[in-house]
Amino acid sequence: MLRKSILFASCAMVASPVLAEEASFPVGLDFSAAVVATGLEFPWEVTLGPDEHLWVTERAGKRVTRIDPDSGEKSTLVTIDEVLVGPQHEGLLGLALHPQFLDGSGNDFAYVVYTYDADPAEGETALDRRAKLVRLTYDEAAGTLVEPLDLMSGIPAGNDHNAGRLQFGPDGKLYYTTGEQGANQFGNFCLPINSQVLPTEAQVSAADWSSYSGKILRVNSDGSIPDDNPTIDGVRSHIFSYGHRNPQAIVFGPGGLYEAEQGPKSDDEINLIVAGGNYGWPHVSGFQDDLAYVYGNWSAAPDCSSLTFSDFEIPEAVPQTSETSWSHPDYREPLKTLWTVPNGYNFDDAACDGLAFICWPTIAPPSVDYYPADGAIPRLRNSLVATSLKNGSLYVFPLTKDGLHTRGDVAQLFQSENRYRDLAISGDTRTIYVSTDTAGIVRSADGNVVQELSQPGAILAFTYN
């Protein structure tokens, strides 16, 4: 056994000033924690296959790795040289296994999303960053993924917020999330946010996917557009929903398709996704309440590149609009926000070691899973479980029976000094596997900024005793 025992806080209450009144219950769960595997290069997706093994993408390692969760034994199924790797957001991202994988029907396909340079001849100085959806075939006897087949390519990508989660729906369609590439902030502050931009009929006919930023796509397993996708603004495309920021997290559950989305300085969102829904970004963050957010459109400022970006002050040259000045017939509010704060909230906390973002009232959720109503762990039943990159924790969102709403308290579990990237639930529902980033910054339980992670590049297992 390669497992090592490690010490974790088994549970903690939510430390949010806004949710203080909701953070009242002790979870009282009895878990043990173990390290299943280490030495992974930014493990990104972890998914449990029908072979009872963990299928893991390594974002920076460009590999799909198969791990025996009991012994920790690893094998590389494929290394994809074409993958373009960056410090945080570029590389080998989502993975989904065909719903009939290894059932004898011949559909032994693994689907992956990754970033690549669409113009490699230009070399490193002129990266044309794009993303693609590729199908691989599993050769079980050889233990390899072979015969790569491009299903969609030329999808917008950048050096920030590429989302990239893949999930099969109960309808047999692939759901694929795309980010807004971190447009309108930091080094990309003069790039427009395209989350509200929709394709024309001519673009769809020409397989021009350049408007697929800040979207959730619904795709046939051969890459084509499903006949029953929504017609949005008169055009049917791969787009299932739009108006997203960085929608890295999706999962199906009793209410349909759930999504967790990373907000700007506040207001991460939990959404229930409907066909053709507009989720508001960048006009609205969280609820349409004009609290601690206005849309400052830097790209619309005259001579944007002469400006200096600030997260705290929007210059007069940058057009600003309030949330409530925007409306759209298909707008959908979130189920929940983490967290909404009042106007005047101090986002530039001097106590945060010059790394104010780590103290912002968000959790940065990169993945979400559904814990079944008949699962073994009573307190998690019929809940969404999201990972947090900033707080090294899982967050638990109980659902109403019909799954259409969240209810009651949000619990924070298993806090450690790690960035939790993705999770998977074991077949017996007693163990939650979590992948951790290889490097990065987190906030510890006592509120300090931590730059050295305790279990980097690992798969952790939290087992209910």
Q: E strands along 394-436, which residues? A: 394-398, 411-413, 420-425, 431-436
Residues contributing to the site for Ca ion (CB under 5 A): 47, 269, 279-280, 285-286, 289, 293, 422, 424
Q: E strands along 185-274, which residues? A: 215-219, 231-232, 235-236, 239-242, 246-253, 256-262, 268-273
SS3 358: helix
- DSSP state, 224? P
CB of 399: closest distance to Ca ion in angstroms? Answer: 18
CB of 288: closest distance to Ca ion in angstroms? Answer: 6
Of the residues 89, 161, 238, 283, only one is catalytic, namely 161
- The alpha carbons of the chain give a radius of gyration, in whole angstroms, of 21
CB of 333: closest distance to Ca ion in angstroms? Answer: 7
Active-site residue, 283 included: no
Name the β-bridge partners of 387. 394
SS3 46: strand
Q: 117 or 323, CB closer to Ca ion? A: 323
CB of 55: closest distance to Ca ion in angstroms? Answer: 9
Q: Give dist(CA 418, CA 437) in Å, integer.
A: 7
| Token pair listed for 206 | 């020409």
Q: Give dist(CA 34, CA 57) in Å, integer.
A: 20
Side-chain half-sphere of 317: how many Cα atoms within 13 Å?
A: 14
Give the number of other Cβ atoms within 10 Å of residue 235's Cβ: 16
Give the number of other Cβ atoms within 10 Å of residue 71's Cβ: 12
Q: 286 or 403, CB closer to Ca ion? A: 286
Q: 42 or 127, CB closer to Ca ion? A: 42
Q: E strands along 320-443, which residues? A: 320-321, 336-338, 368-371, 383-387, 394-398, 411-413, 420-425, 431-436, 442-443
- DSSP state, 151? E
CB of 386: closest distance to Ca ion in angstroms? Answer: 11
Q: 217 or 250, CB closer to Ca ion? A: 250
CB of 179: closest distance to Ca ion in angstroms? Answer: 14
Residue 381 buriedness (CB in 10 A; 0-12 / 13-18 / 19+): middle
- Tokens 């009282």 belong to residue: 28
CB of 56: closest distance to Ca ion in angstroms? Answer: 9
% helix / strand / coil in the chain, to the nearest 5? 5, 35, 60
CB of 351: closest distance to Ca ion in angstroms? Answer: 25
CB of 167: closest distance to Ca ion in angstroms? Answer: 8
Q: 335 or 411, CB closer to Ca ion? A: 335
Q: 417 or 422, CB closer to Ca ion? A: 422
Residues composing the chain: 465
Q: 196 or 391, CB closer to Ca ion? A: 196
Asked, as a colleague might, if the bond just before 372 is cis with ω within 30 of 0, I would say no
Q: 253 or 286, CB closer to Ca ion? A: 286
Q: 24 or 343, CB closer to Ca ion? A: 343
Q: Give dist(CA 73, CA 395) in Å, integer.
A: 29
Q: Which residues contact 57 (CB under 8 A, 6 or more apart)?
A: 43, 44, 45, 63, 64, 65, 92, 93, 94, 95, 112
Catalytic positions: 161
